[in-house]
Chains A and B, each alone.
Chain A
Amino acid sequence: MKKKTHSEKETYDLAKDFAKKLKGGEVLCLVGDLGAGKTAFTKGLAAGLGVKGIVTSPTFVLMKIYPVKSSPAGILLETKLFNGVNKANHRIKEMAHIDAYRLKEGQELINIGAEEYFRDKECVTVIEWADRVKEIWPKGCTKIYFKILNGDERVIEVKK
């Protein structure tokens, strides 16, 4: 999938929709320059998953775990809206938001216990600046590339 967005809101909405396709256990490797929209995308993703509360940039804290708190009613509504694409959404219990911006090598992510979340089928893991830790990308991870075009235009490409 390759899409052009023209505002932060569009990127947010794109990610929110994208979240409905997730089943749990996915590792999303986000690659793109400063200000490309990786955190903006993650905010939309979190909203789509049913994370309550404010998703902030994890650059300094390295990793933040958000519980998924979708109410059963909310999930039912979403399932209806998206024609059952994401019936399994209720299995997702956490979103792990990681940022490799300050890291020099993948081993540092292993050291803070990130792999535990990669393997967790009830967790969706998002890694910003994932290109810095390529050597530890798990098999079958989803790559999402962000490009800054003119002004607020961004190209977002999802690759399996």
Chain B
Amino acid sequence: MKDNKVKIILAIESSCDETAAAVIKVTGKKPEILSSVVSSQIDIHKQYGGVVPEVAARHHVINILPVIMEALEKAQVNKKNIDLIAVTAGPGLITSLMVGVEAAKALSAAWRVPLLAVNHMYGHIAGNFLQPLKFPAVCLVVSGGHTEIVVLKDHINNKKIGQTVDDAAGEAFDKVAKLLDLGYPGGPIVSAEAEKFKVQNSKSKSNAIKLPRPMLGSQDFNFSFSGLKTAVLYAAQKMSPKERKARTSEICHEFQNAVIDVLVGKTIKAAKKIKAKAVLLAGGVAANKKLRESLREAAESNGFKFAVPEFKLCTDNAAMIGLAAAQIIKKKKVPLDNYKKIVVDCGWELN
């Protein structure tokens, strides 16, 4: 297979809760998403009847073929036109990853189409590859399970330089929502509460809630959010149920500010250190408007270009895996029998 002949990529992703497939078309330098299907969007449950456990490989097993078929159908692509299959091989749960990887291998062997393994975290970063970028770049990848700072020398060469040492940023939002009895998923709820505070309260109080900015001043590029969770717990413990309810939006406001201060502070520090030209944001927590705006503002005021993928490319999906593959194959030839060498790597770290 020659690089310049590659036109159509089928991408498959099953590392977390979602089963997903997408079709990417690469013409010249520009990639285009022809279709992107995520299992939660389509009514497979009805199709099969019965209850499907939420977190289970079985869920992926049931979803995988319908999702792939739907992606091909939506893209109006025939299997004969596919030049490459790309699949997430890690990091993630072995039982979940294996469903996508084994399906991809079977298709690769049966259709005689080369198969490429893609790292899920690199996939998140590649969500940004639809737009022109400048390098070197620093990317903040934030999701429920991950919080990492990755340096990109170019589209392909990357290195993780920092990560959370305990809870991920998205996890902290969920747990604070739980501590304040706000429900699930915590991210959007806590943000919405935080917004309310701004509207209601402009005058500052002397007993205003103050939360720490963990590790903001540390020399490395790591994060820690479990202390922030604990600080919210202690603050809430000190209040009567009535006061806690009345001040929920204030707590959320200060909590969100604390998380964003640290995320933005460390990312900009990294960008300065490596003399980056651009700052990128990726992962499910990029859906947080305040984070996007704050990071954009900080990046641009420091002279860095800023990029973030559109919403549906931030949460787990397969299109980002296809976009990642589109870059990798520019530099790497993928042999037809590559599927024989691909194994799931649950702990696959970016370099």
CB within 8 Å of B: which residues of A?
A: 34-35, 39-40, 43, 54, 56-57, 59-65, 102-105, 107-108, 111-113, 148, 151
Contacts and interface: CB of A to CB of B under 8 A. Distances in A.
B164 A104 contact: no
Closest 5 CB pairs of A and B: A60-B145, A111-B56, A60-B144, A35-B230, A61-B145
A104 B52 CA distance: 12
Contact of B171 (A35, A59, A148): A59
B167 A57 contact: yes
B158 interface: no
Interface string B43-79: 0000000000111111000000000000000000000
Range class of the B interface residue count: 35 or more
B109 interface: no
A62 B96 CA distance: 11
Contacts of B145: 59-61
B229 A35 contact: yes
A113 B94 contact: yes
Contacts of B178: 34
Contacts of A39: 166-167, 226
A105 B53 CA distance: 9
Contacts of A54: 163, 165, 222
A35 B230 CA distance: 6
A108 B56 CA distance: 6
A111 B56 CA distance: 6
Given A56-B164, A56-B166, A62 B55 contact: yes
B309 interface: no
Contacts of A112: 55-57, 93-96
Contacts of A102: 55
Given A59-B174, A61-B92, A105-B53, 9 more contacts: A35-B233, A43-B166, A54-B163, A57-B171, A62-B93, A103-B55, A111-B58, A113-B93, A113-B95
Contacts of B93: 61-63, 112-113
23 contacts: A34-B178, A34-B229, A34-B233, A39-B167, A40-B226, A54-B165, A56-B165, A56-B168, A59-B171, A59-B174, A59-B175, A60-B170, A61-B92, A62-B93, A102-B55, A104-B54, A108-B55, A108-B56, A111-B58, A111-B95, A112-B94, A148-B233, A151-B234
Contacts of B336: none
Contacts of A103: 55
B330 to A, nearest CB: 31
A109 B94 CA distance: 12
A35 B53 contact: no
Contacts of B34: none
Contacts of A61: 16, 91-93, 145
B156 interface: no
Nearest to A62: B93
Contacts of B168: 56-57, 60
